Amino acid sequence: MHTDQERCVRAVQSKDARFDGWFFTAVVTTRIYCRPSCPVVPPKPENMTFYPSAAACQQAGFRACKRCRPDTSPGSPEWNQRADLVARAMRLIADGVIDREGVPGLAARLGYSTRQVERQLLAELGAGPLALARAQRAQTARLLIETTALPMAEVAFAAGFSSIRTFNDTVREVFALSPSELRSRHPKQPVTTPGVLALRLPFRAPLNPDNLFGHLAATAVPGVEEWCDGAYRRTLRLPYGHGIVALAPRPDHIACRLTLSDMRDLPVAISRCRRMLDLDADPVAIDDQLRTDPLLAPLVDKAPGRRVPRTVDEAEFAVRAVLGQQVSTSAARTHAARLVTAHGEPVEDPEGGLTHLFPSPGALAALDPASLAMPRTRRTTFTTLVNQLADGSLHLGVESDWEESRARLLSLPGFGPWTVDVIAMRALGDPDAFLPTDLGIRRAAQQLGLPSTPAALTARAAAWRPWRAYAVQYLWATDGHPINFLPV
């Protein structure tokens, strides 16, 4: 979008928050870059230059605006609606891969050469992988500086910087303030329990929390997830340790309370929580497309801004999808809870009732199949899945190619279209995944006057593309199932 000068200027002049994260406005006279909704008087059009990323602005010598704080914008929805090389690379960068494995590790995960990855990122985003990772480190550093009382040395390493000097230089360059000056601009933070952070996760309005938190709470696995005091809480398996997160909907943000065993996991934890809640979606574009169907339009108008509830762990969700085949939500939770108790890693939760991390694929691959209380055919499906996840022959991470992953899953015994599409929708993040054979979808279709046979419904749903996963949420919401209601 940043190449459409006229459209970008209109968005800036109208202070349209819908475009925050889509592009950034750099002002050549002040050398400052802003989000489109910046509250200051818009500059003259001839003084505006537009960039596709904060990293590109920083590379061009612009510093972040102190009023609108462009580094806190929601992420671009492009990276959640695409599965090409650039989108997959951006998801991996957000997941902290460069800080842990470097650019060669990023390229290896994507299956391309380092040169090819750098070339494509530079062409589309105006910045290479190192610059994009640096911008993310700066954002994390600012967050820690302003919201915690951590010593600056701990902030530097928790944000992913290799040295305190690099940390100081980057903060000064990006924000035109030293780390100490940045902290002094905000109220002094009280000393809190080590590893505990309270954050605000932004999103593009509108956001309907009913089905989003309702689904997560209704399917919560005891010991791993819970709904407590108006918040969805769960344990997190992270690269350097583990964590517990509490997420609660607010009118203009998601309140997030993170408890981490290692602060280096902060950017990864934030990225995974945003992804689970689908916070980088563009609800206006999605709902406008779905409204073109006269039978869907009343559902969208009644409760706009529905998101797709996703996951913080793709392998975990695939396992849970198999456990949920042909059984009720309650039975699926019971099966999962038994696995958690027997094979999950214990964690301490002084603030609630969480007890374990969900078992890793390696732990599940080592269990005795005879101990599984499920039919033999589903037992075969389960053991085949966890074995392939454990030995690395099946990858379901953020770097996954959606079509390739679908094909791999369909080749496994016991994996039909419904299971594969549920995993594609909620684990892989495909916004166009569709469930025409789902009983709830067929009931909703019949109630609304849509075609109820899978083939006919799929043909009708072609007009909803590329947002069929969101249409699924609106169709599910016609039912009285607990997944559609915010817990009380």
Query: Where in the sequence numbering do the catalytic residues fall?
Result: 34, 438
Q: How far apart are the first and last CA of the chain?
A: 41
Q: Which two tokens stand for residue 224?
A: 């791993």
Q: What is the bridge-based pairing of β-strands 242-249 and 231-237?
A: antiparallel
Query: What kind and span of H or E run contains 185?
Result: none
Closest by CA position to 123, among listed 2, 20, 27, 7: 2
Q: What is the CA radius of gyration of the chain?
A: 23
DSSP assignments along 444-476, one per residue: HHHHHT---SHHHHHHHHGGGTT-HHHHHHHHH
Distance of CA 335 to the CA centre of its chain: 26
Contact partners, residue 168, CB within 8 Å, separation at least 6: 156, 178, 179
Query: What kind and span of H or E run contains 214?
Result: helix 209-218
Distance between CA 6 and CA 21 in Å, rounded? 18
Q: Which two tokens stand for residue 458?
A: 């799929």
Number of Cβ within 10 Å of residue 215's Cβ equals 24
Contact partners, residue 300, CB within 8 Å, separation at least 6: 287, 290, 291, 474
247 forms beta bridges with 232, 256
Phi-psi domain of 76 (left: phi exceeds 0; alpha: psi -120 through 50; beta: other): beta
Buried b (16+ CB within 10 A) or exposed e, 352-362: eebbbbbbbbe
Contact partners, residue 267, CB within 8 Å, separation at least 6: 94, 96, 99, 136, 137, 140, 159, 160
Number of separate helices (H) and strands (E) present in the chain: 23, 11
Residue 204, classified by CB atoms within 10 Å of its CB into exposed (0-12), middle (13-18) or buried (19+), is buried
What SS3 class is residue 231?
strand
Q: Which two tokens stand for residue 140?
A: 């994390």
Number of Cβ within 10 Å of residue 24's Cβ equals 30
Q: Which two tokens stand for residue 114?
A: 């380092």
